[in-house]
Amino acid sequence: MTDKKPQVQIQQERTYPRFDLGQRWEHGLLVISATVLMLTGLPQKFRDLSWSQYLLSTPHRLEIFQQIHHIAALVLILEALYHIGKAIYQLSKRKLSAEFFPTMQDVKDAGHMLQYLFFLRKDKPKYGKYNFEQKVTYWVVFLGFLLMIISGLIIWFPIFFTDYLPGGIIPAAKLMHSTEAMVATIFILIWHFYHVHIERLNLSIFTGRLSEKEMKVYHSREYERLNRKSSKEINKPGDRK
């Protein structure tokens, strides 16, 4: 009598591309540089607090913090220049998806979601490739980091900028830089962290792909569009024999 081994059925699930390798590397550099900037910048902002005084208790320690902060800032600046340059190139070649930009549909989706949250509608809105929450995250972080880069350069090279601008630009830049840093930190830790790790564990920025189930649930409009496109390509007259 022979023992029959149970047959294991392997179920394969279709996945859809979400982020390419370059975008994932950009995100990784952004996370590292932004984290280092926050960890080295916040102690300098809150110099009156005991924990900050302990960390920056000597001029040598303060200099080390500033040097690390400047190195991380250079990484962020280079990453921002690459990101903008790549976007301009893709726009010129018509390769940048229009889904990336805010539209009236996002306003409608936001209104739809508010109605759902207040129990005025039973269904959530259907989203395309990017929903309005993801667009808000991108544009708030993008514009916020641009403000921090500009104000940070003014603080870093005050003599150069005051040759062309009024002296009051320095305290204004310090206020803008530190305030925007706090806003970005709170926004990322609360808004972005919630939507990516608490509402659902979205790992597509690391894997580069979304499962078919995730596409149906969170990007149903894009899922339907891609499947219509696939059906049209399969049913092209030239493909029939």
**Residue 78, in any domain of the structure:** yes
Number of domains in the chain: 2
- pLDDT score recorded for residue 237: 61
Q: Are residues 173 and 222 in the same domain?
A: yes
In a domain, 184, yes or no: yes
User: How confident is the prediction along the chain (241 residues), in pLDDT tens digits per residue?
Assistant: 555 666 656 567 788 888 889 899 999 999 999 999 999 998 998 888 899 988 998 999 999 999 999 999 999 999 999 999 998 888 888 777 777 888 999 999 999 999 999 999 989 899 988 999 889 989 998 999 999 999 999 999 999 999 999 999 999 999 999 899 889 888 888 888 888 878 888 888 889 999 999 999 888 998 988 888 766 666 666 555 4
- Is residue 65, in this structure, part of any structural domain at all? yes
Distance CA 46, CA 175 (A): 13
In a domain, 239, yes or no: no
**Residue type for position 119:** F
On whether both 55 and 120 belong to a single domain, the answer is no
Kindly state whether residues 135 and 216 are assigned to the same domain: yes
Q: What is the DSSP string of 41-98?
A: HHHHHTTTSHHHHHHT-SHHHHHHHHHHHHHHHHHHHHHHHHHHHHHHHHHHTT-S-G
Q: Which residue segment(s) compose the domain that 219 sits in?
A: 98-227
Query: How many whole angstroms separate alpha carbon 182 and alpha carbon 41?
Result: 10
pLDDT score for 13: 75
Q: Does some domain include residue 169?
A: yes
Residue 124 domain-assigned? yes
Dihedral in degrees, nearest 10, Cα atoms 186, 188, 189, 195: 130
